Amino acid sequence: MHRMPPILAHLVDEAPAALQAPAPEVLLADFGRVAFGNLRLECSEPLAGPLVVHFGEALDGGRVLRQPPGTVRYARVELPAGPAGARLVAPAADVRNTTPPAVPTPPEWGVVLPFRWVEIEGAVPPGALRLVRRTAQAASWDTRAASFECADPVLTGIWELCRHTIQATTFASIYVDGDRERIAYEADAYINQVAHYACDPDPRIARNTFDWLMEFPTWPTEWAPHLVFMAHADWWQTGDRQWMGERFDALQAKLLDERLRPDGLVGSTPEQMQRGDLVDWPPGERDGYVFSPVNTVVNAFHLQAHALMAEMAETLGREGDAVRHRARRQVGREALTGASFDRARGIFLDGPGTGHASLHANLFPLAFGLVPREGIAPVLEFIRGKGMACSVYAAHYLLEALFQHGEDALALDLMTAPGDRSWRHMLASGTTLTWEAWDQKYKPNQDWNHAWGAAPAHLLPRHVLGVEPAEPGWKSVRIRPRPGRLLGARGRVPTPHGSVDVSWKRESPADPPELSFQLPPGVRRVE
């Protein structure tokens, strides 16, 4: 049985943003945005008859949608007649997301679920009813720590959509993968972690999640190295070598070294190719990836994990470990390039002998610095031709790779592209939390409350505002905007020492940004 994690969330009372009466004896409360919680119903007069309370993430014709698609949330609760006073209204527990392996929430809260709308059917004396959403979220959340605004209102809206997603999904004190399962997964957690840092500086939920996943790991192959990514990200955010050092040795088991072949490559058995090696999720987002005994994406994650382990080992004074990890990265990189890099085309194949080159086989090596120098231009050209041929998960790495290699205009174009494979589409749908997939048709059982879709929460401040730490712990920062075709942006980026305020503007896309900024006390800017 799973233990209760350290509780870092609490309940906050929220009043409805709007109340309507769409039909006789029907009250519709709109709380403005989806959040996780339940309802306190305060009635100043006795209820003469029963009430039916509907909770929903979706609306249809001005009423809560009773039969939403997939696992979009809906719940119905019947309240009997009774005396005046306050009542907690919460649905029956969903066994799937309230029993192991799901992450538990405090039982004294009652059942919580994601909802925006509450519809109440039944006779209520006029003015006698008060509704309060008891919203669960991080107790330490600082709403003033972060902001982002730019000359493109769509990008501004995308950032706020992602920021609210990160805030709302702190309800469990652990980063979970959405309401359907409420399970912590390593890749989801890493994206959630770095996005959280860009919205609020408290690292404790990320640390909670890391320790939880070390105790309760999940099954996908590439997810294990993400724990190395999480430890490295914590160090860069906090500068805390002690926390990292206490966990360093345990990370050796997350490198996939047990799968190394004599030729220096990570191998995959037929069983691992069938279940384990993921590349992307859902399967339809893999761009036709051909699985083979040497998987380019799996090897890329293995090599990036060793690179980060080398950095951490060096700062911990473990020079022997640093040398070993750097050597593994170098030997593995040469082996992967020799096996999977098609020199005639200048791009990576999915694996040796597959003959197939997917977006994923190229975006991950590009993001992890594994593409040979002569291959960078062909790989970028290949990626331009592919567009967003990946999931919202892999899009995090795709956009990071593009920003790193001077393709900021393309990265922003992909975020805001027309069609149904961008954050513009999510925003236009009216959702207030990011989805698990680009659209319902790509994953019919998707969650509408999934933080692995919130990567722009950190990509926009880090790259468009250009603010990033120059050393672990943020005692020095770099500010280098990557503006794409934007004419201006401004915002706040949290650090452990206070927020960095940045603004820049220019007359045309050909001009360099005119930058102004204010740093927290004790923090300096370096070039």
pLDDT (mean) for 440-457: 97
Residue by residue, DSSP assigns 198-210 as: TT----HHHHHHH
CB 434 within 8 A of CB 162: yes
Amino acid 48: pLDDT: 87
The yes-or-no verdict on residue 1 having pLDDT over 60 is no
pLDDT tens digit sequence for 86-97? 999 999 999 999
Sign of the Cα torsion 146, 150, 153, 159 reads: negative
Domains belonging to the chain, first-starting first, are 9-138 (2.60.120.260), 144-254+453-527 (no CATH), 260-415 (1.50.10.10)
Give the CA radius of gyration of the chain.
24
- In this structure, the dihedral spanned by the alpha carbons of residues 359, 463, 200 and 416, taken in order and rounded to 10 degrees, is -60
Among the listed residues 32, 53, 18, 56, the one whose alpha carbon sits nearest the alpha carbon of residue 448: 56
C-alpha distances (whole Å) from 398 to each of 42, 321, 387, 401, 405 are 49, 30, 10, 5, 11
* Rama region for 335: left / alpha / beta (φ>0; ψ in -120 to 50; rest): alpha
Q: What is the pLDDT of residue 71?
A: 94
pLDDT given for residue 429 in this prediction = 96
What gap in Å lies between CA 31 and CA 43, rounded to an integer?
19
Query: Residue 444 above 70 pLDDT?
Result: yes
**Four-CA torsion 342, 347, 349, 351, nearest 10 degrees:** 70
pLDDT tens-digit readout, 276-323 = 999 999 999 999 999 999 999 999 999 999 999 999 999 999 999 999
Mean per-residue pLDDT of the chain: 97
Percentage of residues of the chain with pLDDT beyond 70: 100
Q: How many residues does the chain have?
A: 527
* Tens digit of each residue's pLDDT (9 = 90 or more) over 39-75: 999 999 998 889 999 999 999 999 999 999 999 999 9
pTM over 0.75: yes
User: Which tens digit of pLDDT belongs to each residue from 247-262?
Assistant: 999 999 999 999 999 9
Mean pLDDT across 2-21: 94
Across the range 110-133, mean pLDDT stands at 94
